[in-house]
Amino acid sequence: MITFQINDTPVEAEPGWTVLETARHYGIEIPTLCYHEAVSPSGACRLCMVELRDGDWSKLVASCIFPVAEGIRIYTETERIDNVRRWIFEMLLAEVPASPEIREMATQYGVESTRFSVKDPDEDCMVCGLCTRACEEIVGLSAISLMSRGVHKKVGAPFSRPTEVCVACGCCVTICPTGAMRRLIESVRETPEVTLTPLAV
């Protein structure tokens, strides 16, 4: 067992656990968007940032990928973390205004409105990549992937055309935290009706 501290309270973790896994084990709340136990973590949404302190030195790390180590001191609610989270939520409100899930989560963290301009009022995909990881790691097909880069990054099938590779298992729809995949799968699969098969997770 590895012993360390979260918010000044000693905790124990199995070797190989991440800080997030330990925190959840102890019921300590850390928000996440791109994390799901069923697929490998990607450390992309940065909502799960926690502060690692050593004396006067400190830095923020993504708890979903940060491995536990003996004696480290972790804090889950600090001014720096709050600053990162609030800005991410405020930006997400403008980026994916059509997602009630994100709005609810933002409200929980005290962000009700955004100062930024909305590009597409119907957008609900924030490109967290859970769907593509599920398709690759759970289904083993990689029918969809993340295409382009930067601000243009989006989810889809090659050449933005429907693909034969997709078997309409619905795994991506199930794992999507905002429901965007319900809409997106129509562009991936020629026949829009998707029969959901139970997940083995």
Partner 1 sequence: MLQQAEILESVLERYPSKPEYLIFMLQDIQADCGYIAPESMEIICEHANVPITQGYSVATFYQSFRLEPQGEHEIKVCLGTACHLKGGERLVENLERKLDIHRGETTEDMMFTLNTVNCLGACAMAPVAVVDDEYISSTTPAKLDKSLKAAQQQ
Partner 2 sequence: MMTGNTALQSETHRLTSWEDLHALQQQIIEAHDPNQSRIVVCHGTGCMANGSAKITRAFQEALEASNIEAKVMPGIKTTGCQGLCAHGPLVQINPQGLFYSRVKPSDVEEIIQKTIVEKKPIERLLYKDPDTGEAHHTEADIPFYKLQHRLILKNIGKIDPTDIHDKITAGGYQALAKALFTMTPEEVVAEIEKSGLRGRGGAGFPAGRKWRGALAAVKKKGGPVYVVVNGDEGDPGAFMDGSIMDGDPHAVLEGLIIGAYALGAEKGYLYVRAEYPLAIKHLDLAMQQAREYGLLGENILNTGFSFDAQINRGAGAFVCGESTALFTSIEGKPGNPRPKYVRSVEEGLWGKPTVLNNVETWANVPLIIEKGADWYSSIGVPHSTGTKVFCLVGKVKNVGLVEVPMGTSLSTIVEKIGGGVPSGKPFKAVQTGGPSGGCLPYESRDLPVDFDSLTKAGSMMGSGAMIVMDEHDCVVDVARYFLRFLEEESCGKCLPCRLGLTRMREILDNFSHGIGSEKDIEDLQSLSKAVQDGALCALGTSAPNPCLTTLKFFKDEYVAHVRDQKCPAGVCKDLITYYIDPDACTGCRTCAKQCPQECITGEKKKPHVIDADNCIRCGICMETCKFGAVLVQ
Q: List contacts with partner 2 (CB under 8 A).
A: 41-47, 49, 59-62, 65-67, 80, 83-84, 86-88, 91-92, 95, 115-117, 126-127, 129, 146, 148-153
Least distance from partner 1 to the Cβ atom of residue 147, Å: 5
Letter for the amino acid at 146? L
- Nearest-angstrom CA–CA distance, 194 and 77: 41
Looking at beta carbons only, is 46 or 182 nearer to partner 2?
46
Query: What is the number of alpha carbons within 13 Å of residue 116 lying toward its C-beta?
Result: 16
- Which positions ≥6 away from 71 have C-beta within 8 Å? 3, 4
Least distance from partner 1 to the Cβ atom of residue 129, Å: 11
Q: Does 146 bind partner 1 (CB under 8 A)?
A: yes
Q: Does 40 bind partner 1 (CB under 8 A)?
A: no
Q: Does 157 bind partner 1 (CB under 8 A)?
A: yes
- Nearest-angstrom CA–CA distance, 71 and 130: 32
- Nearest-angstrom CA–CA distance, 119 and 32: 24
Strands 2-6 and 73-75: parallel
Measured in Å, how far apart are the chain's first and last C-alpha atoms? 26
SS3 at position 40: coil
Q: Does 167 bind partner 1 (CB under 8 A)?
A: no
Looking at beta carbons only, is 49 or 155 nearer to partner 1?
155
197 binds, among partner 1, partner 2, none (CB under 5 to 8 A by kind): none
24 binds, among partner 1, partner 2, none (CB under 5 to 8 A by kind): none
Least distance from partner 2 to the Cβ atom of residue 16, Å: 13
Work out which of 84, 98, 118, 147 binds partner 1, going by CB under 8 A.
Answer: 147
